[in-house]
A = this chain, B = another copy of it.
């Protein structure tokens, strides 16, 4: 796994389960935004106002937002109010590795450690809706092995889990 940033500086790398922990989220979000600037600048693509604003909106919480939730926010702020406005910005963020799509929720969440090439697993709390990225290396390796055994070539894979985060497990028990 190669990084474009130092592990020691990256809250996401230090604690991918960040979404479930108390933490300085203002710093967490500002950090991700700063990384996003760096990543896009390095890639020679533009983090335009809409795109940047969508990322900020996703970064407000460690949750996944539907495209129409994002669109509502954008429209209220004077951006376009038609679906493509939101979908295009979200697609851009996903392509650049700044956000992830959560298939189970038909929704999008900001990446907590952009800049690193990664394909994490997602842990989705069914009670509080928090979404955390989890280490998916071993699971992916096992899946690759199973696919290879039958001659299937994996190009993209989705690993998502629904359940209870530590806090909700406590409170609902």
Contacts and interface: CB of A to CB of B under 8 A. Distances in A.
A136 B147 contact: no
17 contacts: A16-B150, A17-B149, A17-B150, A20-B150, A123-B150, A125-B152, A134-B143, A135-B149, A136-B146, A139-B139, A139-B143, A139-B146, A142-B142, A143-B159, A155-B164, A157-B160, A157-B161
Contacts of A150: 16-17, 20, 123, 132, 134, 166
A43 B166 CA distance: 34
- Would you list the 4 A-B pairs with minimal beta carbon distance, nearest first? A17-B150, A151-B166, A138-B142, A139-B142
Interface string A66-82: 00000000000000000
B169 A161 contact: no
Interface of A: 16-17, 20, 103-104, 121, 123, 125-126, 132, 134-136, 138-143, 145-147, 149-166, 169
Given A121-B146, A136-B146, A139-B139, A163 B158 contact: no
B152 A123 contact: yes
Contacts of A123: 147, 150, 152, 154
B161 A143 contact: yes
Given A20-B152, A103-B104, A136-B143, 4 more contacts: A138-B145, A143-B161, A151-B169, A157-B160
Contacts of A136: 143, 146
Contacts of A147: 123, 134, 161, 163
